[in-house]
Chains A and B, each alone.
Chain A
């Protein structure tokens, strides 16, 4: 399943790198602790988080993540948007909570990383 399909299914708003949505998503991980994400998330994963500061882009780049979903109506900071566009990291936003989004991703068949 591609990031674009997920964005459509979950009605996620694409905030950055809208030209990078045709990538296949290999799985998902959810956490607001960056070190946990660094330790667990795998290449091509979609990462669901509340964090919206610029460092989430660095984490996504280092791990080759497919994209980041920022939940609960938080908007990525201007620096985050700038950096994400430069690095080609898609950031998607939603008013829903992390729990709800992860539930929907699971329904779509996106496997979790354990």
Chain B
């Protein structure tokens, strides 16, 4: 699954990156009058395998190491580049997406493409190695940015200087609104992920928060969900102003539900909410007064990794 994700990322980058972001800008060029012997020296000194051929700043051809090998075999080192170069050149535009370059490399089998701007002026050269380098560079930047992002969030408690530190997240929950139900728990889950909290812990908190939120939606006119995050534990509080639970012990029994029939038809109110919260949390407290309101508290301990 990770692998599939990476492939998708590279595909995405190939569309996103432009040729000019991967190409080599300082292009070494020769003229048609350059001899093949001089050309050989240029390749050797610069450790390259081909160059565009310019005449009066105009791109007139391309010459490669293959042309040199042919010339060597025929003893034609005195010949000029102009005589041996390929005149029918395929080029890339600097502002084209890299994916065009990839398909041209596949189609023509060339080792390099001169890159021109829309005025036809040579601005760079692109090899398959440049594409790989360009992609790696970009992936590294993205990765680095993600690392910085994660670092800041996940080490937040280490960066805070205080004898005691806690982060508080408060979400309003609208009663009887089944369309928006679950948004508070979803937002909390996303926030905890950004803080770099262990996914197993997040799952437990998310389930408890969702069930607590659903209870507010199903049974009350509204309330709030508060999450207090400390280095060692996460506490969720669900508060509402009524109607209250007459018999808490009964309400805690799996399968017991006072939800109306139409709510049950939607798949809610199966009498599993409170048992789910209890199962997901390390500590759970439920206080309720009929006509006044309910306060539910669930605590999940965060096991700190060594170091």
Contacts and interface: CB of A to CB of B under 8 A. Distances in A.
Interface of A: 2, 22-24, 32-36, 38-39, 43-44, 49, 51, 53-55, 57-59, 61-64, 79, 87
Nearest to A61: B186
Contact of A34 (B8, B179, B183, B268): B268
Given A35-B270, A43-B199, A62-B182, 5 more contacts: A33-B272, A39-B279, A51-B267, A55-B181, A61-B186
Given A22-B8, A39-B276, A43-B203, A58 B182 contact: yes
Given A38-B211, A39-B279, A49-B267, A55 B273 contact: no
B4 interface: yes
A35 B273 contact: yes
B272 A55 contact: no
Given A24-B1, A53-B266, A35 B276 contact: yes
Interface of B: 1, 4, 8, 178-179, 181-183, 185-186, 189, 199, 203, 206-207, 210-211, 214, 266-268, 270-273, 276, 279
Contact of A55 (B182, B189, B271, B279): B182
B276 A38 contact: yes
Closest 4 CB pairs of A and B: A58-B182, A35-B272, A33-B270, A24-B1
A72 B64 CA distance: 64
A58 B182 CA distance: 5
A98 B272 CA distance: 22
A43 B206 CA distance: 13
Contacts of A59: 182, 210
Contacts of A34: 214, 266-268, 270
Contacts of B199: 43
B211 A55 contact: no
B1 A23 contact: yes
Contacts, number: 78
Nearest to A49: B267
Contact of B186 (A36, A44, A62): A62
Contacts of B214: 34-35
Contacts of B271: 35
Nearest to B193: A64
A57 B189 CA distance: 14
Nearest to A35: B272
A36 B272 contact: yes
A102 to B, nearest CB: 17
A38 B266 CA distance: 14
A61 B189 contact: yes
B247 to A, nearest CB: 19
A62 B189 contact: yes
B265 to A, nearest CB: 9
A90 B33 CA distance: 63
